[in-house]
Every structure is written in structure tokens, then in C-alpha cells.
Amino acid sequence: MIPYLLRKLATIALLLVAVFTASFFLIRLAPGGPFDEDRQLQPEIRRAIESKFRLDQPLGTQYREYFTDVFVRGDLRPSFSYRNTSVNQIIAETFPRSAALGSAALFVALLLGIPAGVFAAARRGRAADAAMAAVFALGLAVPNFVLATVLVLVFGFWLGWFPVAGFDSLAHLVLPALALGIPLAAGAARLVRAGMLDAMDSAFVRTATAKGLPRRRVLLGHALRAGLTPLVTWLGPATAAVLTGSLVVEQIFAIPGMGSFFVTSVQNRDYTLASGVLLLYFGLVAVLNAAIDVALHGLDPRVELR
């Protein structure tokens, strides 16, 4: 276990350096700079601001100093678009909100997805299975923004049960969590169904059935446990994606999370904020994937940690 974790740690460090380097150079290649405004800055003002953000040094020096700040001091530097605010502060403030919404969405996904998948697997080949398959396909196919708009219309305007946008109370989280969670639930259900069907064809489940165990115990005790493997594998990247926020859902529901930064920081050429959110995202994906490996090993000790 320990050597595995050490190896994993080294890989994650390498990945982050690669992400840092790629984002550093790519965003600087894009035309237009952070200080191009509708009202053009006077040349000396522009130079003063660029020097304040240390953009006046040679690229190599910029890279070296920024690298040291990020990886040695853990300082992601001040944002270009939020003046007088560091990227560390911005992430510390907005990431938990995205994470809260993402967590709520993940619970929706698991709460709806696992039972639906089990149900479909248990009714394999029957009409109910086919109907569920259609529902899952629909859940995956309907784009987020359409689902969000329908939810706002029905539960916000017609029924008036939940607020249409904002981030003032738990009630404000219900519609965005559904909008984000329902497509995930459909995905989860399909994985659970497939995983269980695989397991149900395997020798140990047939043995359990032959021993005369009740069907419910075979399904939930044996098939489900083995069948969860694909779901758990999928959970790593899904969690990372959902915790760091969704641009579309955050915009439609005015959730003050960090999801929008993946797009707006690049649009604003906010170099430091863009690098910061990318590092967080890739770091999270890598850590969660390692956690998944450990979890799979727990579910099925035949899975080796490599």
C-alpha cells in the first residue's frame, strides 16, 4: 500500500507540473491580453499594470518565478480580473459552494441511479427493463440547460415550490442539484445494470442461486456487490467533475461557485485564475482516481494496486 501511494504521489506531481506548463504557455499564445478593455488603457498605464503583474519580464523568468510561487510556496498569485484578490482566496471561497452543489447532485445520482439500475437488472429482458432503458437514454440525452429550464419552469414558476436561482438557502440548491444529478443518475443506473448482469452470469452467483439462497439475497448480496465495480470506477472522474462545478448549471441558477471560471477566466485572459482552477481540477481527478483504485481493491481484493 505505502509504495503504491508514494508512486501515485510522484505521478500526480508530474501531472500537475505538466498541466501548469501547458496552461502557462497555451493561454499566453491566445490573442488578446488581460488588459485589453473597451476603453483602451493609456500606454503608460498598461505598462504599469503589466509590470505590477510581472508580465513585463522575459517569458522564461516569468515561468520560473511563477513555478516557484505555485509549487514551492503554494501561492497561486493575485487574480488579474478580481483586483486585490488572490487566486487562493477565490478558490477557497468558491470551490466549497461548487462542492456543496456537486455533492447534492451526486447524492441525487446515487439515490436514483443505483435502485433504478438494480430494478432494471432484476427485470432483465422484460418490458420494464426496456422502459427503464428508454428513461436512462433520455436522461443522458437531454442537455443540462434544457433540463434546468424545464425544472425552473415547472417547479419555480408553475408550482412555485423552489426559488428559480440564487444561493441563499438549502431550498435554492434543490433545482440545480436535480439538473446536475439526473443525467448522472441515468449514467449510474446504466453502469449498475450492466455490472449486475455481468455478475449474474458469473459462476459464484449461479452457485449462490443453486444453493437455494433467496433471490433477493443473491441479487443484493452477491450480484450487486460485484456489479458495483464499474460504477465505482466511474465515480472518480464523475466526482471530480461535479465537485468543481458546472458552467451551465451554475450560470442558469446563479450559483456562485467556481464552475464558470473554467470558461470566464480564459475569456478574461486571467492567466493566474485559469491556471489555478486547472491545477485544482486535475489534482482532484488524480487524487480521486487513486482513491478509487484503493476502493476497488477493497471491493474485490483480486484487483491489484499498481
Footprint of other proteins on residues 94-113 (CB under 8 A)? Answer: 94-104, 106-107
Please report which residue ranges of the chain form alpha helices under DSSP H: 2-29, 43-52, 59-71, 87-122, 127-141, 144-151, 171-200, 203-210, 215-217, 224-227, 229-243, 247-252, 261-267, 271-299
Min dist. Cβ of residue 60 to other proteins (A): 23
Please tell me whether residue 217 binds other proteins under the rule CB under 8 A: no
- Of 61 and 169, which has the nearer Cβ to other proteins? 169
Q: What is the grid cell recorded at 47?
A: 505598462
Report the residue from 2, 3, 29, 44 that binds other proteins according to the rule CB under 8 A: 44
Taking a C-beta distance cutoff of 8 angstroms, is the pair 192, 115 a contact? no
Chain residues 181-210 in contact with other proteins, contact rule CB under 8 A: none
Alpha carbon distance 257, 246 (integer Å): 9
Region binding other proteins by CB under 8 A among candidate stretches 2-10, 15-23, 54-62, 156-164: 156-164
CA distances from 153 to 109, 138, 146 (A): 22, 19, 11
- Of 18 and 85, which has the nearer Cβ to other proteins? 85
Region binding other proteins by CB under 8 A among candidate stretches 13-21, 61-69, 132-140, 158-166: 158-166
Please tell me whether residue 5 binds other proteins under the rule CB under 8 A: no
- Of 47 and 123, which has the nearer Cβ to other proteins? 47
What values do phi and psi take at 40, rounded to 5? -60, 130
